[in-house]
Amino acid sequence: MQFAEIQEGDSRYIMHAYGRFPAALVKGKNATAWDTKGKKYIDFTSGIGVNCLGYSDPQWAAAVAAQAAQIQHLSNLYYSPVTVKAAKALCEAAGMQRVFFGNSGAEANECAIKIARKYSADKYGEGRSQVVTLQNSFHGRTVTTLAATGQRVFHEKFLPLTEGFAYAEPKMESVRGAVNAHTCAVLIELIQGEGGVHPMEKQFVQDLAAFCAQKDLLLLIDEVQTGIGRTGSFFCYQQYGITPDVVSAAKALGGGLPIGACLVGSKCAQVFAPGDHGSTFGGNPVVCAGALEVLSRVAQPAFLEDVRKKGAYLRSELEKLPNVESVRGLGMMLGAKPAAGEPGKIAAACVDAGLLVLTAKDVLRFLPPLTISKAEMDEGLAILRQVLQGFAG
């Protein structure tokens, strides 16, 4: 298929929910992709933080293909060995007790919210169902996770949303003000990704954890973007020195296959009973085979050490680039604020020049595959330098 035909078919048959860059990617290897015209791109996005092992990692592809050829789906009415292996590896890496598998980040957060409400209803009865989230957060696109998302722009066209959400600033004073007798949980990201790559202050997070423990409010951490090695620890909360009650993960967990996971510690390990929650595809063997390969590599200390090293290198190189005002983030989740030029226009110019980058609010956002090579990073940085220079005032 020629590019023009692809673009026409996309426009004709796919709902116009996305703005796309003019490239159809058909092949990839680690952090390098090629389009229909054979043009090469260095990838600083990993498909919005998904392809943690890069494009089509051979071991990952072999594990997925082998499972597809063995048995691809069996419903949650039966036991699945590969699903158990993935669950065990994930719980051990997280220091959590149990997991529920779904298919996306939004679903993982829906599960977290249901757990919080049921925990509270079981223990305190009705009327304690409100969840406090943060302003500028992002938790998904379903009607309930939109309600959890503290950004009015996402709400406007879809009212009424699910009731029972209140929004606070990332300050204890503001959280205390939003919490009342009806509150059952607080849900936060440790680095607001879609909100512009804003890391939370360590003191705030630790104070929040102590406050939640004292009030028996569940602390729900959305690690959909920050999880699975992205920030240099397996989960970001491991760097913040806290233990959440519930953790959601998705994006990178399947290495490119759709999976979401909601993990719980001891407080919530018994909340769900048969019939309380479910998902047709949840824990699918093919997807779990991909996740197991991801977990067996990313959860290793040496792999995480490498992420921290590469993240530090990328950060220091970004700071040296022309037209970069500041860099923020952790590990390989970084945002660079340009001194001049709109992030969207700079990103489009990057794609044109052979570099895939993301944006979030006022920053260019970088989520490269965790396996990106030094040569690929340098090649991408050279393209970025050229493009940024062109936008300098």
Ligand X SMILES: *Cc1c(COP(=O)(O)O)cnc(C)c1O
Residue 337, SS3 per DSSP: strand
**φ, ψ at 307 (rounded to 5°):** -60, -45
- Nearest residue to ligand X on Cβ basis: 105
Binding site annotation covers 11? no
Query: Smallest distance from the beta carbon of 109 to ligand X, in angstroms?
Result: 6
- Give the footprint of ligand X on residues 177-196 (CB under 6 A): 189, 193-194
Q: How far apart are CA 264 and CA 19, in angstroms?
A: 36
Of the candidates 294, 149, 153, the one whose C-alpha atom is nearest the C-alpha of residue 230 is 294
First to last CA, the chain: 40
- Per rule CB under 6 A, is residue 150 in the interface with ligand X? no
- Per rule CB under 6 A, is residue 232 in the interface with ligand X? no
Beta-carbon contacts of 46 under 8 Å, excluding residues fewer than 6 positions away, are 31, 52, 54, 252, 367, 368, 369, 370
Given the complex with ligand X, which of 31 and 250 has the nearer CB atom? Answer: 250
Stretch of residues binding ligand X (CB under 6 A), selected from 174-182, 218-226, 230-238, 323-331: 218-226
Supply the DSSP symbol for 254: G
Beta-carbon contacts of 87 under 8 Å, excluding residues fewer than 6 positions away, are 98, 99, 101, 283
Looking at 250, 261, 298, 334, which residue binds ligand X (CB under 6 A)? 250
- Per rule CB under 6 A, is residue 230 in the interface with ligand X? no
Of the candidates 7, 252, 218, the one whose C-alpha atom is nearest the C-alpha of residue 121 is 218
| 351, burial (CB in 10 Å: exposed 0-12, middle 13-18, buried 19+) | middle
- Per rule CB under 6 A, is residue 110 in the interface with ligand X? no
Given the complex with ligand X, which of 57 and 107 has the nearer CB atom? Answer: 107
| 61, burial (CB in 10 Å: exposed 0-12, middle 13-18, buried 19+) | middle
Count of residues in contact with ligand X, rule CB under 6 A: 15
The residue written with tokens 């490239």 in the block is: 23
- Per rule CB under 6 A, is residue 138 in the interface with ligand X? yes
Looking at 128, 139, 198, 230, which residue binds ligand X (CB under 6 A)? 139
x/- letters, 53..92, toward ligand X (CB under 6 A): ----------------------------------------
Given the complex with ligand X, which of 104 and 323 has the nearer CB atom? Answer: 104
Annotated binding site: 105-106, 138, 141, 222-225, 279-280
Residue ranges of the annotated binding site for pyridoxal 5'-phosphate are 105-106, 138, 222-225, 280
- Chain contacts with ligand X (rule: CB under 6 A): 104-106, 109, 138-140, 189, 193-194, 222, 224-225, 250-251
